[in-house]
Structures are given as structure tokens and as C-alpha cells.
Structure 1
Amino acid sequence: MTKREIHLFILVLSLLASACSDSDIIIHESSEKSESYLPSEKCQQISHCFTHDGLTLWLGNNEVKAEQEFSIFLHSKNNESLQIDSAKIEGINMNMGYIPLFFSKLSNNTYRASGLVGVCETQDMRWQIKLEISQQENNKVLTLEIPST
């Protein structure tokens, strides 16, 4: 093989490798930086949300499927310091234990966590998100039922 053929072979291999890569990852990474990825702060735009005393809790997806990751957002209208003491997904009608949630700060007043619910043998299993929050010596509990699919 000549040097030219080797270079051509390497070029073809690199093109094949990039063409076969997971395009969802590339789209996801670039879309996170776009304005359309920013979470909506208006509860009316989302069908599954809960607003109480300046706090809004909502799901990033209108449809949640078992064993598929989904986003959970928390927004505070107040500029007061906010501490999430406990965050979990738990069963409403059955004791299935709980799934811990870990929120990270997106902006001054907005937080995001990833959630996942398991598959249940019965069709009537219902899940909810439960947050215990401290905000300037006020303790608040927020719950939001996760829509079943």
C-alpha cells in the first residue's frame, strides 16, 4: 500500500466511525445550550405541575414511561435562599420504597433533577414526587403525582 492509499483508508474509516456515532447525543448536547432547551417557568404551559407559595414543581415531559428517564424542575419566584431537605419519588397506593432525587441548580431560582420510575405488575400503580423544602425558616412539602402511562 502506498502512503496515499493508507491516508485514504484512514479517512474512510474515520468517516464511517463518525457516521455511525449516536446522533441523539450530539443533538442533545447542542440543544442543552440553546434557548429552546431552557425549562418553562409557567405552570400553564405544562400539564403536570404544582404551584404553591411561590414554588413551582413540574415535569419536563407530559408523558412518563416506566424505566425511562425524565426531568423534574423546581422554580422559586422569591429570591430567598432555598434548601431541598428531602427529594424522592414514592408510591401513592403501594409501598414500593422510594427513589431518591438529586437536584442541581440551573440558575438562581431554578433546579433540575432526573427521575425514573419502575415497572409494576399491576396497572394501577401510582407514583408521586415529594419534596421537603426549607425557605427562610419555613418548612414546605410539595407533592406532584406522576402521570401513569
Structure 2
Amino acid sequence: MIKKKHTGVIFALIFLAGLFVLVKINNHQLSDANKSYCSLEHGQCEINQGEQSILLQIQPESIPLEEELSLTFTLPSGYNITRGWITGINMYMGKIPLIIESVDNNQTQAVTFLGSCSEPDMQWLMTLEVENTHRQQTDTLYFRFRTHR
């Protein structure tokens, strides 16, 4: 009798956990529709934020692995980078931080290092949180790029 009670509770908990996961996945997919993406080609990429634009430039243009990668962000006035990181899309590589080195007028300099792995063609996603002081909110921007070894 006791085993039947516990079995029912366990199944109910599993059902609720599954329902919770489905709701989270659905909310994540809906929120993705409102995000700004940019595919990084030829060493630079531009994302429009309303009437403003944010430009990312990478040096060197051919993105190196296991070497310093320099990033220059040109932001409109009233925008500040609060944090950023890079993650692997087709292979888990952890959360690689962007190290902000300097901010001068509307340009922000950052560096990062990308690791090498067994995957010869890596797909990456750079996530950038940018504070918009005019609207008192944080926007999330995404830059996609590839590396080849």
C-alpha cells in the first residue's frame, strides 16, 4: 500500500517536471524571435537597434584559435556593454568571457581567446548585453561566426 502511494507521487513529480521543461522551452523559443542576430563575415558585422547601429570588427579577420582575438565595438551614444561571452554552437566549449580592455567615446575594445577542439569547423555564438541608457533597459545582441582549423 505504501509503495503505491510513493509510486503515484513519483509519477506526479515526473509529470510536473516534464511540464515545467516544456513551458521553459516554449518561452525560450518565443523570446528568441525578438533577438538581434548578425552573421560575422569578413571581419565585421553590424546590428541595427531601431535607428541606431552597433558595429563589431575583429582582428585578425581570419579568426585565430588559441591566440588573442581583438574585438572593437562601435556603439551609439547612450549604449554601454555590460558583459559578453562566446559559446560553441555545434560543440560545447563552455562560456568564454569577453575581457573589456578600454572604452573610448563610442568604441569599446575587448579581447578573448577561442580554444581549439576536435571539430574542424566550429560554429560560435557571441552574446553581448548592451545597456541602453536612453530607454533604461538592457538589450541582448548575438553575433554568429565560424572558425576553421
Scaled by the length of structure 2, what TM-score is found? 0.60
1:97 maps to 94
Aligned CA RMSD, in angstroms, stands at 1.9
Choose the corresponding residue for 1:79, options 77, 83, 100.
77
Question: As a proportion of its length, which structure holds more strand?
Answer: 2
1:134 maps to 131
* Contact 2:122–2:146 (Cα < 8 Å) also in 1: no
Deviation digits for residues 21-75 of structure 1 (CA, Å, limit 9, x no counterpart): xxxxxxxxxxxxxxxxxxxxxxxxx823222222112212211121011101111
Which amino acid in structure 1 is aligned with residue 46 of structure 2? Answer: T
Scaled by the length of structure 1, what TM-score is found? 0.60
Aligned-residue identity in percent: 25
* Contact 1:69–1:115 (Cα < 8 Å) also in 2: yes
Cα distance 1:127–1:118, how it changes in 2: closer, same or farther (>3 A)? same
1:88 maps to 85
1:148 maps to 147
2:44 maps to 49
- CA distance in 2 between partners of 1:49 and 1:141 (Å): 18
Instruction: Name stretches of at least 5 consecutive residues in structure 1 with no aligned partner.
Output: 1-45
Cα distance 1:112–1:59, how it changes in 2: closer, same or farther (>3 A)? same
Choose the corresponding residue for 1:111, options 108, 112, 115.
108
* Contact 1:89–1:130 (Cα < 8 Å) also in 2: yes
- CA distance in 1 between partners of 2:91 and 2:146 (Å): 16
Q: How many residues align?
A: 102
Which amino acid in structure 2 is aligned with residue 86 of structure 1? Answer: R
* Contact 1:63–1:147 (Cα < 8 Å) also in 2: no
* Contact 1:48–1:146 (Cα < 8 Å) also in 2: no
3-state SS in 1 of match to 2:127: strand
* Contact 1:90–1:99 (Cα < 8 Å) also in 2: yes
1:147 Cα deviation (Å)?
3.3
- CA distance in 2 between partners of 1:49 and 1:127 (Å): 15
